[in-house]
Amino acid sequence: MALITWNDSLSVKVKQFDDQHKKLVEMLNQLFDAMKAGKGSLVVGDILKQLIAYTQTHFAAEERLMTQYGYADLEIHKKEHNALVVQVLDLQKQFQDGKAVLTQNVMTFLRDWLSKHIQGDDKKYGVFFNGKGVM
């Protein structure tokens, strides 16, 4: 069973970002599957590394389009992005230092943040971009 199942409620109606969100969901599900199989510690470092890199690429793409179209809440959205990056980088550092283990709490945090961010903040830009002809 997946941690997050992609469905239309997660769509922001901008194909580029929906595709990227699907990839993030897939990465979280890989991490979750590894954890459930007792292999979380074997793959968590690699998946966290990939997740951090992909998240930063995704956030940059969102922010680039927001800048291009003059999205009013750009700075607020950037702060949301930065807060998550800091939290995940901290998690990665703790893992690398042997201080953190992959737990259900970590997975719940990542799942909830991604779901709430997409369904809240990202849905707002979806409507904005659609109004500018970006689908």
Is residue 5 a part of any domain in this protein?
A: no
Q: How far apart are CA 134 and CA 12, in angstroms?
A: 11
For residue range 100-122, what is the model confidence (pLDDT) as tens digits? 666 677 778 888 888 888 888 89
Q: Residue 71 is part of a domain; what is its CATH number?
A: 1.20.120.50
Return the closest-CA partner of residue 23 out of 35, 6, 9.
Answer: 6
Residue in this structure with the two tokens 């969100």, named with its chain if needed: 21
CA distance 106 to 61: 26
Predicted confidence pLDDT, tens digits, the chain (135 residues): 788 899 998 999 999 999 999 998 998 888 888 878 877 667 777 877 888 888 889 999 999 999 999 999 999 999 988 988 888 888 778 877 877 666 677 778 888 888 888 888 899 999 999 999 999
Q: Is position 2 within any domain?
A: no
CB-based contacts of 32: which residues, under 8 Å, 6+ apart? 2, 3, 107
Residue 113 lies in a domain: yes
Number of domains present in the structure of the chain: 1
Angle (CA) 50 107 98, round 5°: 70
Domain with 48, as residue range(s), is: 15-32+43-130
Residue 109: C-alpha distances to residues 9, 10, 28, 37 (Å):
19, 17, 11, 19
The answer as to whether 66 is a domain residue is yes
Position 28 in a domain: yes
